[in-house]
Structure formats: C-alpha cells, structure tokens
C-alpha cells in the first residue's frame, strides 16, 4: 500500500486533505507544467484513453479526478458523450469551469466537487469511468475503485491512465534521472510549491506494478483487466469491466 506517501510530511493532515491542498496550491500552473514537463505527450496519452472507450460508445462518462478537465473536454468532443467531471480540489475545478466557458462542448460537461471515495451518484449511473493521473493520489485505492465500480452500470468500463516506471534500459535510467532531479526543480520553480513535484515521483515509485494493479482492479469487482505500456512504459493504460 502507498498511503504513507504524503505531499507534506510535516503537516498533521491525512493524505486526502494534503492532496487537496497541494492541487489547490499548484492549480494556476498545472496545465502549463503538465504540457511542459511531459513535452506534450500527455495529450497523446489522453487520446489513447479515448480510443479504448470508442469501442464501447459510452453515452455518459464519469471523469474522476478531472482536475482542470482536459480529459473530460476531449471525451465530450471525441466520443460525443455527456461527461461529469469530479475532483476534490476547488481551484482545479475553477480552472476547468473557466475553460468550459470557451468550450464548444460546454453543454455536454458538468463539473462538481466530490471525493472519489464517496461519489454523490446512485448505483449504476455511468457507462464508463475515466481517471487520468488520479488514482495514485487516493488515500485508499481499493475504496476508490470499489466506489467507482458501484456507480458504473453492469459491463461498464473503467479506463485508468497512470504513470509507471519504464521497465527497460536505457529509458528507465533516463526517466529516473529526469523524474528525480529535473522535474522537481522545474516544478518547484514554476509552481512555487516545494513538495508537489517531489511528491510526484515518490508517489509513482510507490504505485503498484501493472500486474499488481490489475490484481487490485480484479479484487474491486472488475473483470477483463487489460494493461498496456505507453511511451516506453512512462505511462500505463488500464481498462477493466464491471462484473
Ligand atoms: C494529477 S491531477 C490529474 C488531473 C487530470 N485528470 C489530468 O489528467 O490532467 C490529479 C487530480 O486528482 C484529484 N484527486 C486526488 N484525489 C482525489 C479524490 N479522492 N477524489 C477526487 N479527486 C481527487 C486532485 O485534486 C487532482 O486534481
């Protein structure tokens, strides 16, 4: 388990509160740093999530840990679906709302503040659920996945995008160097949050291996788990279906 990986070691709050505070702190720089630090690859990764969902043609999608809403906007446009984006961090959602004002998809998207571990929806509400770079931050991964399972319809699909550690030399060595030294320095400079971009690699190392994460999905009521490495294993895409 990875519950002990916290954004701010010196604060007494639990992980959920600290994660909320961290994303509220960095929200104003989040989109810029996301695209800059990933050299734009993050957009390609979100497209992969959408192509997996295309096969299922979901009419309504829950985007958990929606942040500033990039995946929600892309899904609404490319899948022509109704999308509900939820997040715990109010400042991330404010930026999502600002972007919504300029979006042609505005009529198909709703954002609301909610915790993945306690979703304000009735059982079986959604055809699909997406989570991009969110599940790693949950205080309790299993509790979040079970809650998502609850709000999915039978045979509904979950698609999870998360960072992973590339398995092969020399990408692995380059990535570890970049993640450990370069990314925290750039992140700290632009976000003005000392810990946020140190917490990022720490939480990625602590995240279960693809094999173990597929096992966790299974134990939380999902079947047909599938995993694929993206960009030499820097990120991983998982899909699974509600039993
Ligand atoms: C790295 S950002 C990802 C945002 C977006 N999905 C993207 O791809 O850019 C992680 C987001 O997860 C949210 N988050 C973390 N724990 C959460 C929880 N328990 N419930 C809802 N949102 C959560 C954070 O507030 C943050 O906005």
- The answer to the question of residue 102 being in a domain is yes
Q: Is 93 in the pocket of ligand 1 (CB under 6 A)?
A: no
User: Which of 78, 132, 138 lies closest to 108 in space, CA to CA?
Assistant: 78
Cα–Cα distance measured from residue 8 to residue 161, given in angstroms and rounded to the nearest whole number: 24
**Full residue range of the structural domain in which residue 81 is found:** 15-242
- The answer to the question of residue 208 being in a domain is yes
User: What's the gap in Å between 188 CA and the centre of ligand 1?
Assistant: 19
- The answer to the question of residue 48 being in a domain is yes
Tens digit of pLDDT for each residue in 128-178?
999 999 999 999 999 999 999 999 999 999 999 999 999 999 999 999 999
Radius of gyration of the chain (CA): 17
Q: Is 149 in the pocket of ligand 1 (CB under 6 A)?
A: no
- The answer to the question of residue 147 being in a domain is yes
Measured from the Cα of 24, ligand 1's closest atom is: 25
User: What's the gap in Å between 65 CA and the centre of ligand 1?
Assistant: 3
- The answer to the question of residue 2 being in a domain is no
Q: Is 87 in the pocket of ligand 1 (CB under 6 A)?
A: yes
- The answer to the question of residue 201 being in a domain is yes
Q: In this structure, what CATH number is given to the domain that contains residue 199?
A: 3.40.50.150
The confidence score (pLDDT) of residue 35 equals 85
- The answer to the question of residue 217 being in a domain is yes
Read off the pTM. 0.95
Tens digit of pLDDT for each residue in 51-104?
999 999 999 999 999 999 999 999 999 999 999 999 999 999 999 999 999 999
Bigger pLDDT: 189 vs 20: 20
Q: Is 23 in the pocket of ligand 1 (CB under 6 A)?
A: yes
> How many structural domains comprise the chain?
1
Residue nearest to atom 25 of ligand 1 (CA): 89
Are 101 and 69 spatial neighbours (Cβ–Cβ below 8 Å)?
A: no
- The answer to the question of residue 5 being in a domain is no
């Amino acid at each position: 388990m990875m519950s002990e990986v916290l954004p701010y070691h010196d604060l007494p709050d639990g992980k959920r509160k600290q994660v909320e505070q961290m994303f509220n702190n960095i929200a104003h720089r989040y989109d810029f740093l996301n695209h800059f630090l990933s050299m734009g690859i993050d957009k390609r990764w979100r497209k992969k999530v959408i192509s997996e969902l295309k096969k299922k043609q979901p009419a309504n999608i829950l985007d958990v840990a929606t942040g500033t809403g990039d995946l929600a906007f892309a899904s609404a446009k490319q899948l022509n679906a109704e999308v509900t984006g939820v997040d715990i961090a109010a400042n991330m959602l404010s930026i999502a709302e600002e972007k919504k004002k300029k979006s042609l998809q505005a009529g198909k998207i709703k954002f609301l503040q909610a915790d993945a571990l306690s979703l304000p929806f009735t059982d079986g509400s959604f055809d699909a659920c997406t989570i991009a770079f969110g599940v790693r931050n949950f205080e309790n991964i299993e509790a979040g996945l079970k809650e998502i399972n609850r709000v999915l319809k039978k045979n509904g699909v979950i698609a999870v995008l998360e960072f992973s550690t590339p398995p092969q030399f020399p990408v692995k060595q380059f990535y570890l160097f970049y993640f450990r030294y370069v990314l925290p320095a750039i992140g700290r400079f632009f976000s003005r949050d000392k810990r946020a971009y140190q917490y990022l690699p720490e939480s990625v190392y602590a995240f279960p291996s693809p094999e173990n994460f597929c096992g966790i999905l299974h134990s939380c009521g999902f079947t047909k788990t599938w995993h694929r490495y993206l960009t030499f294993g820097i990120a991983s895409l998982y899909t699974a279906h509600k039993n």
